[in-house]
Amino acid sequence: MRSTRNHPAPDRTLMRAVATGLVVGLATTALLGFGGAKFSTAQAADTANSSVTVKATDQDPDAKNAPLPDLAVTVSQTENLMSQGVLVSWTGGIHSTVPSGDSNGGANFLQIAQCWGDDPLNPGQPDRTTCQYGAFRSAGSARDNFVSSDAVVAPEDVQFTSPEAGPFDPTYTSIPFRSATGKTISSIGENHEKLDVDVNTNEFFTQYTSNEVKWAGSGSAGTGATRFEVQTALQSPGLGCGAPEAKPDGTTAPRSCWLVVIPRGTADPGVSSITKSGLFWSSWKHRIAVKLDFKPIGLTCPIGSAERQVAGSELVAGAVASWQPTLCGSTGGAVYTISKGAESDALQTSLTQQSAPLALTTRASSSELTDSLAYAPVALTGLSIGFAIDRQPDPGEGTPESVTEQTGTSFSEIKLTPRLIAKLLTNSYLDSLPTFADKTHLGFTSTADAGHNARNLVLDPDFRAINDPEWDYESLISPSLADLLVPQGRSDAAWQLWRYVLSDPEAVDFLAGKADPWEMVVNPWTTTDAEANLSESAFVVPREDFPKADPAEQAGGNDGSLPINVVSWRPYTNDLDQAGYLTLRGDGQVLGLWDPTSSPAKYTKSPRNLPGQQRVLSLTDTASAARYQVVSASLQNASGSFVAPTTESLTAAAAAMTPVVGQSQVYEYDPAGAAAVAAPTAYPLAMPVYAAANPRSTDATARADYATFIRYAVTEGQKPGTDPGTLPAGYAPIPPGWRDQALAAANVIQSGGAVVTPSNPAVAPPVASGSAAVPASPSSNVSAPAAAAPAAGPSASGSTAAVLGNETPADPDTGGLAAAIPVGGMSGLAAAAAVPLLSRIRRKSL
């Protein structure tokens, strides 16, 4: 049941059954002091072992005079790094002050940068000239500054300083950037003259590419956390991290780099506030540095290895990338090249071509052809609604001091319902349409008569009714809070998210045009009511894509600026992984200003928002969320519980999965099914990934290689970790029954046996975790998966841990409830009812 907190309570048209005996899981998120908020992260087993904590007193010989003398910084992962996020958390800080315009960088905060080289005068410590820093040019964060006089220049900075030469030529200090390529960017000449060179924007980094954090603040308890983007040589050639580097013994190894934290106080020498570079010696001497070690960049497979194509779901791409070096390094191993695309296309190819790639899918084939494929479950993963939202309370009267003092710190939890996600997917919030486009169809005629549709999610009373009361004091405005960053193209991910939306009668009513209790209505271009839809055709769901159906357009201007439609206003991402990456960077893909001077003239892209000012909502997957340290929303499941994606909640969802009609090899999580209602700890966007192949393919060598892939994936490939060959964070180890089915399928694929799939599998209802396995269908050549049991091995806190959010245990045995509800039969009826709908989707779509 949702809390209303004095808001109108939405009517419930369906009472959900909740299983009794709910086991409360142990919380694994770390309390990092954002006013008592929890900031959760994902760590694999050996990731936690590479976490490093460094104190100011460990590295700073003058710590007693440092701005934050009691500072202790923890970096969540320091080994086996790639392009990813890490969590930087700390204690011993002082309550921070946010920056004030362009004149003051703030007070008592941290700056974070990545550096590649060692200081030749201080071996074993980073060289400040090798740090990617300064791209944002704001107060206290540039590489260079004019200073009040020569007297305030530290001796260590003299070599980088052009002394005062007159009243109009003041003292100037600039720290050059020495790149890993050997080129140096400097604005100080050989004779200490000031050169016309920009050291802050150059060929190696700009405000669009730099990963630096110019301000990271502490809460009232002096603690805090922020996510930091770790870049390799592929993202930043100027840093060169992870690139092969020759060692003194003649071997090569990936280049190590540094993560550097620079504590800033209340004022720089000679001025009354923080305005000078953190690379100047007065600040740099107090830096804390942590060594970062990287995975090798590029494929490490032997030359001449056979290449095998795998195609379809990107949900397993991270796992395949981890498994690849071990698979191709084994005797006779092959290189498995993944081609991400629509799963339905990959299945169709497998059914119709003799030498088809191994298909990766979360659903069974919907082709009218006989499904002769063998399906092997190889991964348990899911979708994530990721977010990066920093606090910006309303400065007006009535806002509690306890709220205002958290300004700039990150929210660590939001709750979402299917109806709220429906609003985000249908351009129903005002700011999801171009600013000056006609919005009268959403009830907006002017700022004085704005109608009932909220500007964005966090201003929606529907959202505030179920989330922390603190949201009532926030004044967050951005187009990137009015919708989700979603991928272009077709995918099973889109299908499953729409199914989740349709699992809630309130969301179904909203899509059909019924106003919510606060009188907000769906965008009439995306209503499922054909008569009310402005296109004169019903918006058909579920579907495999995310249409931006509203043709609203902002007219071009007198300056020659082009019109702006919904797609140019809120562009698609390439895939789920990119959405996670953009969320880490705080990049909401917000359209910038018109630039008439470019050739051709065009709209620019707004720079990403740095920590303290981030406003991003995205659809990503749990593996990408873990990789990029993206915090995931807690979603309301069929039992009414709000659950975040964790190892435990994914495993609980696996226990509630039921076989699809016509294909007993494939199980799915039906977010509206009876099994889901009886699983209060299940994450509702959990998804299995199957490797599917045709055993009757004439290419026996390829079939043998695909069988090898499956066998590794479901055995050694299910061990959590960051080493090559292990299961990355964001995946839950598959249940034992899934492994048994996969191994049986691998045998069928390699031997070339036939797979017989009954049209109506007689499968008993799955039982909860820890109970007996589901019997195999007697007419299937591949065993049906057992009910999901808790994964063997380390506990969640030492394995894949929290994918991002509080842990949720596997559901208990539902006893009489499971026996009373014929789960397999009900899921069969639901899927049967969807068949004609699927046919209609093929015939007609927006």
pLDDT digits (tens, 9 = 90+) for 665-692: 999 999 999 999 999 999 999 999 999 9
User: pLDDT-based confidence at 12, cuts 50/70/90?
Assistant: very low
Pairwise CA distance, residues 832 & 662, whole Å: 9
What confidence score (pLDDT) does residue 368 get?
A: 82
**Residue 389 phi, psi (nearest 5):** -130, 120
13 or 113: whose pLDDT is higher?
Answer: 113
pLDDT at residue 289 greater than cutoff 70: yes
Single-letter amino acid, residue 143: R
- Predicted TM-score of the model (pTM): 0.84
Residue 458: Cβ-neighbour burial (10 angstroms; 0-12, 13-18, 19+):
buried
Within 13 Å, how many C-alpha atoms sit on residue 647's CB side? 34
Q: Which two tokens stand for residue 788?
A: 């999901």
Mean pLDDT within 686-701 = 94
pLDDT at residue 107 greater than cutoff 50: yes
Pairwise CA distance, residues 510 & 533, whole Å: 13
339 or 127: whose pLDDT is higher?
Answer: 127
- Smallest CA-to-CA distance from 814 within 682, 636, 659 is with 682
* DSSP β-ladder status, 306-312 and 358-361: parallel
User: pLDDT digit string (tens) for 768-803?
Assistant: 333 333 333 323 333 333 333 333 332 333 333 334
Q: Percentage of the chain surpassing pLDDT 70?
A: 83
**Residue 526 phi, psi (nearest 5):** -125, 25
| Contact between 242 and 297 (Cβ < 8 Å) | yes
What confidence score (pLDDT) does residue 299 get?
A: 64
CB-based contacts of 41, cutoff 8 Å, min separation 6? 29, 30, 76, 87, 629, 801, 802, 804
User: pLDDT-based confidence at 166, cuts 50/70/90?
Assistant: confident
What confidence score (pLDDT) does residue 355 get?
A: 85
Pairwise CA distance, residues 690 & 688, whole Å: 7
pLDDT at residue 32 greater than cutoff 80: no
Query: Residues for the chain: how many in total?
Result: 846
Mean pLDDT within 722-732 = 95
User: pLDDT digit string (tens) for 114-147?
Assistant: 999 999 999 999 999 999 999 998 999 999 999 9
User: pLDDT digit string (tens) for 569-615?
Assistant: 999 999 999 999 999 999 999 999 999 999 899 999 999 999 999 99
Pairwise CA distance, residues 774 & 769, whole Å: 11
